[in-house]
Amino acid sequence: MKGRLHDSETRPPTAVLFGRADGHLGEEALDELAGLAEAADVGVAGRLVQHLQRPVPATYIGSGKVQELKELVRAKKADVVLADVDLSPAQARNLTKAVGVRVVDRSELIMDIFARRARTAQAKLQVELAQLEYMLPRLRGQWAHLDRYRGGGVGTRGPGEKQLETDRRLVNKRIRDLQQRLEVYERRTQLNLAGREDARKVALAGYTNTGKSTLFNRLTGSERLAANRLFATLDTRTRKWAVPDCEEVILSDTVGFVRALPHHLVASFHATLEEVVEADLVLHVVDAAAPYVEDCIRAVEETLAAIGAKDVPRVTVFNKADLVSDTMELQALLNRHPGAVVISARTGAGLPDLEAAVRDFFVSRLAEFELTVPIHKGREVARAGELAEVTATEADETAVRLRLRVEEGRIARLKAWAEAEGLGLEPWSDGVRATPSGD
């Protein structure tokens, strides 16, 4: 199904875009759709926007606009119509019949782009799963033979089985097969995350084409593809990030989000997005120079909530500061998002501030304890150093007292171990050693 928009074309196709005006957005609402069309190697020949209170059930847009769309398609000699909305199967069929060329909705376009960008086996499986789940309710309108009966041969006499039902059964079988194969990748991801349990995990997330991969390369010394195009990155990559005065930090670069990201893609890319869900900290990278930047921020927040990462702590990172011409607009952004960091991944400006914000976050999550270990239990002293950072040690003829520093997420494990070993563990209060239990 890869490249379904124009596999058979000898030249890049052209498209007419249409959408529904949304709030403060008029024709500008189609700017992103034009970027998606470019990412799919489709030229934009024309645009059409309708202000609608509610969609028309049969064709989404009104009959007058349908006729206007048909005339625009003919005048521009367009090959396809791209809709900046998700259409029902019936709406897509009715519009295609009315305008005379194929009508592709937003979800199908985005999945087509993902299919083009997929390079790894996992990404290809994830895209195919999303496409099949999208296609399943649309089978009736895709092939003309679907209402014919099979039947007729030896051993198959009688009315037989509708071809539609056969195709649906085959698609459902393939979906189950893909889900089982992707479960293997998900288990592998979970094992990798478990293997990095003691490391501080930071994930880059954000709207597509905000410069996440450029920032990832700058921070980790990697050479990951960083292109000025939508969805240049589909696979998660992880590298060590040397943050000054901070213990081991693992940084992950993830797939970009977009407004109304198809839920089939969100579901099928679950294993890839697990890096975000399991992160200690998310760096929400925002293109500070983008128009409608608040809409992009809101779309990312909605997607983070959809994948189960709503409560993961995050720092907003305004990237591409070198492209912002109006410093007042940038200051207004900072006023609306206190605690945000301004950087340019391309020039390196502001990266020390970003490192300081990450370091301060992890320091703020540290708690201090005093652990009392009998003098003869040397193995337990060594184990304490594995579970927490030892910042001071005192010893006498009966016990070793360790001052430990540990992150919030690892306190429960430390306490459970100390209790199982029968060791005294007390909070360290205001820099004054509390009297350990059992003294």
Say if 2 falls within a structural domain.
no
pLDDT for 126-142, tens place per residue?
Answer: 888 888 888 887 775 55
Q: What is the CATH number of the domain that holds 281?
A: 3.40.50.300
**Among candidate residues 134, 166, 191, the one where a domain is terminated:** 191
Name which residue leads in pLDDT, 28 or 249. Answer: 249
As beta bridge partners, residue 311 has: none
CA 321/CA 330 separation, integer angstroms: 8
- pLDDT category at 157 given cuts 50, 70, 90 is very low
* Residue scoring higher pLDDT (96 or 410): 96
Contacts (Cβ under 8 Å, ≥6 apart) of 5: 13, 40, 42, 80, 104, 109, 112
Average of per-residue pLDDT across 402-424: 88
431 falls in which pLDDT band (50, 70, 90)? very low
The answer to the question of residue 294 being in a domain is yes
The answer on 148 and 62 residing in a single domain is: no
Percent of the chain past pLDDT 90, that is, above it, reads: 36
Note whether 181 and 215 are same-domain residues: no
Residue 147 lies in a domain: yes
- Residues 257 and 202 placed together within one structural domain of the fold: yes
Domain co-membership, 57 together with 173: no
Domain assignment present for 54: yes
Closest CA to 333 of 288, 282, 283: 288
119: pLDDT strictly greater than 80: no
177-216 pLDDT per residue, tens: 988 888 887 777 667 665 556 678 999 999 988 999 899 9
Write out the residue range of the structural domain in which residue 86 sits. 14-113
What is this structure's pTM? 0.75
Residue 158, SS3? coil
340-375 confidence digits (pLDDT tens): 999 999 999 999 999 999 999 988 888 899 999 998
pLDDT tier for residue 283 given thresholds of 50, 70 and 90: very high
Query: How does the average pLDDT of the chain come out, rounded?
Result: 82
Indicate whether 162 and 89 sit together in one domain: no
Output the pLDDT for position 198. Answer: 65
Q: Are 86 and 156 part of one and the same domain?
A: no
- Residue 204 has, within 13 A of its CA and on its CB side, a CA count of 36
Contact 141, 164 (CB under 8 A): no
Domain-located, residue 76? yes
Asked if 355 and 269 sit in the same domain, the reply is: yes
Residue 8 lies in a domain: no
Nearest-CA neighbor of 244 among 118, 146, 354?
354
Give the up-direction half-sphere exposure of residue 311: CA atoms within 13 A in the CB hemisphere: 1
The structure tokens 């006499």 sit at 157
Q: Show which of 363, 378, 411 is a domain's final residue.
A: 363
**Number of domains, the chain:** 4
What integer pLDDT is reported at residue 30 of this predicted model?
Answer: 84
Query: According to the per-residue pLDDT averaged within each range, which of 18-27, 194-203, 394-403 is highest?
Result: 394-403
| In a domain? residue 434 | no
What's the rounded mean pLDDT across residues 286-315?
91
- What distance in Å separates the CA atoms of residue 92 and residue 88, rounded to the nearest whole number? 6
182 and 275 both lie in a single domain:
no
For residues 233 and 348, state if they share a domain: yes
Tell me, yes or no, whether 355 and 378 share the same domain: no
For residues 276 and 142, membership in a common domain is answered with no
Each residue's pLDDT tens digit, 307-346: 889 899 999 999 999 999 888 989 999 999 999 999 999 9
Q: Note whether 330 and 411 are same-domain residues.
A: no
Domain boundary among 191, 211, 226: 191
Nearest to 358, CA basis, from 276, 430, 257, 284: 284
CATH number at residue 407: 3.30.70.100
The answer to the question of residue 5 being in a domain is: no
- Pick the range with the lowest mean pLDDT from 166-170, 204-208, 209-213, 390-394: 166-170
State residue 28's pLDDT score: 64
